[in-house]
Amino acid sequence: MLRNYKMTICYDGTRYDGWQKQKNTENTIQGKLEALLSRMAGREISVHGSGRTDAGVHALGQTANFRMDTELSEEALLAAVNGYLPEDIGVTSLRTASDRFHSRLSAVGKVYRYRLYVGSGKPVFDRKYVWQLSEMPDIDKMREAAAFLTGQHDFRAFCGNRHMKKSTVRRIDGIEIEKSPGGERIDLVFEGNGFLQNMVRILTGTLVECGLGLRDPGEAGRALASGERSLAGQTAPARGLTLMEVKY
Show which residues are catalytic. Answer: 54
Sketch out the chain's domains with CATH numbers.
2-96 (3.30.70.580), 109-247 (3.30.70.660)
Band of pLDDT at residue 36, cut at 50, 70 and 90: very high
* Exposure on the CB side of residue 75, measured as CA atoms within 13 A: 0
Q: What is the 3-state secondary structure (H, E, C) of the chain?
A: CEEEEEEEEEECCCCCCCCCCECCECCCHHHHHHHHHHHHHCCCCCCEECCCCCCCCEEEEEEEEEEEECCCCHHHHHHHHHHHCCCCEEEEEEEECCCCCCCCCCCCEEEEEEEEEECCCCCCCCCCCCEEECCCCCHHHHHHHHHCCCEEEECHHHCCCCCCCCCCEEEEEEEEEEECCCCCEEEEEEEECCCCCCHHHHHHHHHHHHHCCCCCCHHHHHHHHHCCHHHCCCCCCHHHEEEEEEEC
pLDDT (0 to 100) of residue 61: 98
Q: What is the pLDDT of residues 147-176, one digit of tens each?
A: 999 999 999 999 999 888 899 999 999 999
pLDDT higher than threshold 90 for residue 203: yes
Please report, for residues 63, 91, 184, 217, the alpha-carbon distance to residue 244 in angstroms, rounded to integers and kept in the order given.
10, 14, 21, 27
pLDDT (0 to 100) of residue 58: 98
Average pLDDT over every residue of 36-52 = 97
pLDDT higher than threshold 90 for residue 180: yes
Mutual orientation of helices 139-147 and 218-226 as an angle, nearest 10°?
30
Alpha-carbon torsion 85, 91, 97, 103, what sign? negative
- CB of 51 closer than 8 Å to CB of 94: no
pLDDT (0 to 100) of residue 2: 95
pLDDT (0 to 100) of residue 164: 87
Q: What is the mean pLDDT of the chain?
A: 97
Average pLDDT over every residue of 118-145 = 96
pLDDT (0 to 100) of residue 205: 98
pLDDT (0 to 100) of residue 12: 98
pLDDT higher than threshold 90 for residue 23: no
Q: Which of 157-166, 205-214, 229-238 has the lowest mean pLDDT?
A: 157-166
pLDDT (0 to 100) of residue 182: 85
pLDDT (0 to 100) of residue 160: 95
